[in-house]
Structures are given as C-alpha cells and as structure tokens.
C-alpha cells in the first residue's frame, strides 16, 4: 500500500502534505499544533478537493482527524458571522428582504451597513413603512453617509411625508454644506408637496380660479405647457375681470413654447393692467431681440432691470441687444454682471469671450473661452450624476 501511494504521488506530481510544528503532519496532534487554527480554512479547501485515486487513498489513511478540524473551523464564531452577513447581502440583492433580515439578526451587532442594505431592499419593493426604521438606523449610525440620508428622505416622500423628507435633506445640507444630489431631491419633494396641496384645494374649492392658477403653475414646473395653457385659460374665465397676473401666466407659457405672437398679445395685456411687471417687460424685450428689433428690446429690457435689478436674464438679454447695436462696452458690462451672479454658467463666459474679441481684448477672450469649456464639462458630469441619483 505504501509503495502504491508513493507511486501515485509521483504520477500526479503531488508532494506530501506539509509538516506542522514538531514534524507532525496535519491530523496528528492537531489540538496542540499551531497549524490548526491559523491555516484551517486553506487546509480544508485544498485537502478535500477531488484529485484522483491517490488522494482518496491519502484521505482514507490520514485525514479523518482533519475533517473534524474543518467542521470545528466552519463552526467558529467568526466564520458564522461572515456567512450570515454574506447570506443577508445576497438575499437583499435578490429582493428577499425578510430572509436578509433573519440572516443579519444572527450577527452579534448588526451595524450601519446591514441597516442600509435592509432599508434599500424594502425601499426597492416600495415597502416604505418597513424601509424607514432601517434607513433611520443607518443614518444614525453613519451620519456622514449621503446615500443613507437620501434613501431615507425618498422613503419619507414615498410614504407621503414630503415635509419630513425636505426637512431631513435640509438638515444634511446644514451639516455638510450644499450638495447637488440633496438639492435635486428637495426640488422633487417640493413638487410632490405642491401636488398634494393642489388636490386638497381642488376638493374644497372646485370652482375657484385660484385652484386652476395653481394647477397651471404645477404644469409649467413639469414643462407640460399645453395642460398649463388649459388651466390658465380656465382660471382667466373664472376670475373677476381685471385680475392681474393671469394674462402674464398665459403669455409666459406661450413664450416658453416659442409661440411669440400669442405671448406678445398676453404680455402686453398684462402690462396694461400692471406696467410695473418686470418679468413681462423682460419677456417682451427678449421677443423683440429674436424678431430683430434690438432698439425696441432695449426699451423693454432697461425698464425690466430698473424695476428688478436682480433679474439676471434681463441683463443677459440686454447685453445681446447692446451687441446688436454695436454698443460693446455696455454689452460687456451686462455680461459681467451675469457672470458675477451665475459664475458656473458656461454660456455667459462664452458670450463674454465673443464680446472681448469684438473689442480686441484677445487675452481676456481666451481666458473666458477656456473657462466656458471647463464649466461645460463640469455641467455634463453633474447632469449624469443627477440621472444616476434618480435611479
């Protein structure tokens, strides 16, 4: 038998099992050998791998004590904990949240990672009631975890608690500074809150023009312009004659839809009721620019800015009108005001670059062009991040 075993080792090019401390082979005096606890997993994974007839003979002769060792190693607290955690993650990834929770409950002290995994699992099943306690625990145990806080806020909103969702993310911003993902979700939650408010108002006051005015505003926010037009027309029909604001709303929607003739009619009617409407003056000025009437545009835009100096888009439009009239220093001044108000807007830096070229200020034009390209790259990256956050 020993001769056969040696021959089999030579055929398979398999070396004898390594010696442990004191010249012992595995399976001999394992309780006292330093080989036992440290290399148990590696030893077990290798020694029980099928490798032909010779290894079967070796196992029969030498490995019965080693199998006992492997069973002891598999049952160690550390291996049990790792197995439970792995099983919990696997069950959660396949949507078996209850089984994942059972697996994690076997851990000595489930932490933030396990709580977040469970919360996200229930969230994906739209079981927000179950998700919220786990996500609250994850946010509490790991207060700097942005993903946990955002999922928690989304779960609040999913359960109809939009105000709590907004409050949660506002607290995050207060603690950690402005965060684009948090701001993105706050905007979504405010829209949900507006929808809820509208539904409540419509149920109580179905014949009020204010209900339709609010609905029009919500439709504009969603860029559902045909629905917004219908809502504002209904509001105008129900409102008392001469109610300010409604003609502007209609004109604003036409303006957004690039239906400029309809926009001009409604905006001029608004200015007859309220000549001090800054936005109406701005939009009329922007239409005049598009129609090639830069001098008429300047009249409207200068009035808009006089009424509201913080109206950034009016400064931008006025700068374009000045460019058309070859009033380059004034155009640059307007563009600089916009760049100061909106430093991350890549388009205004491109406009500044063009204005500088027209005045021969080539070095400044080059700097503004480079700045515009870099900001455009950052904008694209941010859009991609926002889309990923929504998933």
pLDDT for 355: 95
Helix axes of 64-74 and 40-47: crossing angle, nearest 10 degrees: 130
Q: pTM to 2 decimals?
A: 0.54
| CB-CB neighbours of 178 under 10 Å | 8
pLDDT for 46: 40
Task: For residue 183, give both structure tokens.
Answer: 């701001």
Task: For residue 92, give both structure tokens.
Answer: 């959660």
Contacts of 75 (CB under 8 A, 6+ apart): none
Provide the residue-wise pLDDT of the chain in tens; the chain has 391 residues. Answer: 444 444 444 434 444 444 444 444 444 443 333 334 444 444 443 443 444 444 443 444 444 444 344 344 445 566 677 888 889 899 999 889 999 999 999 888 889 999 999 999 999 999 999 999 999 999 999 998 988 999 999 999 888 888 899 899 989 888 888 778 888 888 888 877 777 777 777 788 878 898 899 889 889 988 999 999 999 999 999 999 999 999 999 999 999 999 999 999 999 999 999 999 999 999 999 999 999 999 999 999 999 999 999 999 999 999 999 999 999 999 999 999 999 999 989 999 999 999 999 999 999 999 999 999 999 898 888 888 877 766 5
User: b vs e for 372-381, b when ≥16 Cβ sit within 10 Å of the residue's Cβ?
Assistant: beebeeeeee
CB distance 162 to 192 below 8 Å:
yes
CA 272 to chain centre: 44
pLDDT for 51: 44
Q: What is the DSSP string of 120-168?
A: HHHHHTT-HHHHHHHHHHHHHH-TT-HHHHHHHHHHHHHTT-HHHHHHH
Q: What is the DSSP string of 171-238?
A: HHHHHH---HHHHHHHHHHHHHHHHHHHHHHHHH-TT-HHHHHHHHHHHHHTT-HHHHHHHHHHHHHH
pLDDT for 24: 44
Closest alpha carbon to 134 in 144, 123, 145: 123
Distance between CA atoms of 89 and 104, rounded to whole angstroms? 9
């Amino acid at each position: 038998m020993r001769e056969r075993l040696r021959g089999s080792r030579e055929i398979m090019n398999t070396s004898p099992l390594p010696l442990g401390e004191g010249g012992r082979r595995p399976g001999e005096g394992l309780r006292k050998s330093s080989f036992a606890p440290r290399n148990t997993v590696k030893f077990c994974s290798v020694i029980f791998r099928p490798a032909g007839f010779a290894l079967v003979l070796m196992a029969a002769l030498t490995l019965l004590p080693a199998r006992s060792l492997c069973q002891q190693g598999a049952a160690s607290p550390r291996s049990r904990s790792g197995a439970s955690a792995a099983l919990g993650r696997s069950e959660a990834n396949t949507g078996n949240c209850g089984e994942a929770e059972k697996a994690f409950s076997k851990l000595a002290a489930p932490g933030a990672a396990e709580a977040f995994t469970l919360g996200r699992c229930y969230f994906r099943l739209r079981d927000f009631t179950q998700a919220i306690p786990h996500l609250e625990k994850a946010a509490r145990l790991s207060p700097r975890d942005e993903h946990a806080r955002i999922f928690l806020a989304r779960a609040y909103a999913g359960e109809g608690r939009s105000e709590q969702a907004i409050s949660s993310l506002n607290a995050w911003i207060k603690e950690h500074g402005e965060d684009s993902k948090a701001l993105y979700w706050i905007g979504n939650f405010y829209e949900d809150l507006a929808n809820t408010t509208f539904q409540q108002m419509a149920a109580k006051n179905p014949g009020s023009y204010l209900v339709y005015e609010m609905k029009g505003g919500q439709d504009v926010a969603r860029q559902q312009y045909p629905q917004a037009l219908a809502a504002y027309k209904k509001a105008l029909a129900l409102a008392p004659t001469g109610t300010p604001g409604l003609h502007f709303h209609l004109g604003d929607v036409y303006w957004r839809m690039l239906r400029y003739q309809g926009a001009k009619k409604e905006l001029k009617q608004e200015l007859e009721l309220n000549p001090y409407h800054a936005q109406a003056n701005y939009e009329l000025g922007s239409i005049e620019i598009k129609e090639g009437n830069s001098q008429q545009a300047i009249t409207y835009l200068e009035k808009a800015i006089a009424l509201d100096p913080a109206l950034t888009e009016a400064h931008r439009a006025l700068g374009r009108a000045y460019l058309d009239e070859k009033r380059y220093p004034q155009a640059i001044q307007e563009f600089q005001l916009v760049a100061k108000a909106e430093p991350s807007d890549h388009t205004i830096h491109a406009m500044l670059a063009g204005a500088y070229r027209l005045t021969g200020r080539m070095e400044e034009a080059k700097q503004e062009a480079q700045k515009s390209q870099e900001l455009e790259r950052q904008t694209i990256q941010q859009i991609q991040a926002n889309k990923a956050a929504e998933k």
